[in-house]
Amino acid sequence: MRTSGSSRRRSRADRWRRGLAALALAVVTAGSSAACGSPRDASDSLLERDRVVIGVKPDQPGLGLRTGPDRFEGFDVDVARELAHRLGFTDDDLRFVATPSSVRERALVEHEVDLIVASYSITPQRKTVVGFAGPYYVAHQDTLVRADDTSIQDVRDLAGRRLCAVAGSNSWRRVTEEREIPAVPVPAASYSECLTKLKRRDVDAVSTDDLILAGFAASAGEDVRILNAPFTDERYGVGIAREDVDACEELNRAISAMYVDGTAQRLLRKWFGGTTLDLTMSVPEFEGCG
């Protein structure tokens, strides 16, 4: 009798868990395994599916960039693929789709995707709608400006300046609402559009996670510069259905193992080793599932 895909995955996942349990336990924080609430029926869990659809960014160099029909590359894409492999999925089981910031919650809630790995910061508001594994990396919000604009040296200098505001992103609100800096929001659909607006002088600054800015700065060359004046922590999580606690906990174990065996550090160096960012190489403190 032919073994089903879900049975093969359970077998592989069981062998993987037994082999790495002692290693991962040393680094997983107590919160990573805490489950609040009841998980869905096992048949509904990601762990029991034959295929997985993963949402990634299509327009963020270094993190998630579309390179062809149904083809994406970047740190987030590599992390997503590695995590899926550690849960027992093969490359043939994976499908990547574009998930701009404005559709991430809806895509998970309406089951258009199974996971989202797309510079998706964990926030209390988002956790009321979707679940998160991780974080798999802690980035820091910084600001990108034109190279010839020396009047902006840190976030306080954005007062009265035109700040790009991407639909569905919280980054610009952290400047105008949390920091109460009276910048002038200029709407944009994506951060790639923000970069175009910055180079055209339609905005004066783009403020978001430093990994995002590093990718755009590398693609724009000497036209722009990062202030290197970070002012927040951005905890990148793996978005998942809020009720799928079993899969969330497996993802946390997989993230821990990636840091223990050096995979996470290798991927960070692959995509950002040539930048001036001070990369964090230690396993982040997990939020806990549920």
Q: How far is CA 245 from CA 104, 130, 242, in A?
A: 19, 11, 7
Rounded mean pLDDT of 261-288? 89
Rounded mean pLDDT of 186-209? 95
Please, which pLDDT band fits residue 127 given cuts at 50, 70 and 90? very high
- Residue 29 included in any domain: no
Sort strands 59-60 and 224-226 into parallel, antiparallel or unpaired.
unpaired
Are 173 and 157 found together in one domain? yes
Q: For the chain, what is the domain count?
A: 2
The reported pTM is 0.75
Are 96 and 154 found together in one domain? no
Which residues are paired to 131 by β-bridges? Answer: 240
Of the candidates 147, 179, 178, 145, which has an alpha carbon nearest to the alpha carbon of residue 161?
145
Please, which pLDDT band fits residue 5 given cuts at 50, 70 and 90? low
Query: What pLDDT score does 168 carry?
Result: 81
Are 240 and 158 found together in one domain? no
Are 86 and 129 found together in one domain? yes
CATH number reported for the structural domain that contains residue 253 in this entry: 3.40.190.10
Q: Which residues contact 277 (CB under 8 A, 6 or more apart)?
A: 210, 211, 214
Q: Which residues contact 286 (CB under 8 A, 6 or more apart)?
A: 28, 29, 31, 32, 133, 134, 135, 252, 255
Are 256 and 212 found together in one domain? no
- Residue 259 included in any domain: yes
Structure-token match 């096992």, residue found: 42
- Residue 33 included in any domain: no
234-262 pLDDT, tens digit each? 899 999 999 999 999 999 999 999 999 99
Are 134 and 239 found together in one domain? yes
Are 64 and 200 found together in one domain? no
Neighbours of 168 (CB within 10 A): 14
* Burial category of 189 from C-beta neighbours within 10 Å (exposed 0-12, middle 13-18, buried 19 and up): middle
Which residues are paired to 139 by β-bridges? Answer: 234
Query: Residue 170 belongs to what domain range?
Result: 141-226
For the ranges 157-161, 196-200, 285-289, the lowest mean pLDDT is seen at 285-289
- Residue 24 included in any domain: no
Q: Which residue has the higher pLDDT, 173 or 20?
A: 173
